[in-house]
Amino acid sequence: MKSIRGLKIYREIALFMAAAFLCVGMLAVFYVAMETGHECHGEECSVCACMEICESFIRQVGTAFPVLMAGVVYALAVLVVILPLTDGVYGRTPVDQKIRLND
């Protein structure tokens, strides 16, 4: 049976891989968008070769990339919108206000 620490490391690796996947996908999309109007130097054009690699990555990803982006948007919405609203729900405690409680 796996320990909790072992499961935590798998979760961290999965999170890192998802972040790396997202970064590579975003960079591929940005690269293709920026280099669409480049001056091509014939069949040996290195920019065209890089664009083909990026476009093949985007095609292979298929529907996973939009789902991942939706997850990122959802996480940002939670962090930006919902968490600041919950600040007043729990109320302020003396510890939060740094009040010293002497006997």
The reported pTM is: 0.52
pLDDT in tens, the chain (103 residues): 456 566 778 878 888 888 888 788 888 888 888 888 888 888 888 888 888 888 888 888 776 777 777 877 888 887 777 766 666 666 677 777 788 877 6
Query: pLDDT value at position 24?
Result: 85
Q: Break the chain into its structural domains and give their ranges.
A: 25-85
Longest dimension (CA), the chain: 84
**Whole-number Å distance between alpha carbons of 60 and 48:** 18
Query: pLDDT value at position 5?
Result: 63
Query: pLDDT value at position 89?
Result: 61
Token pair belonging to 9: 């490391």
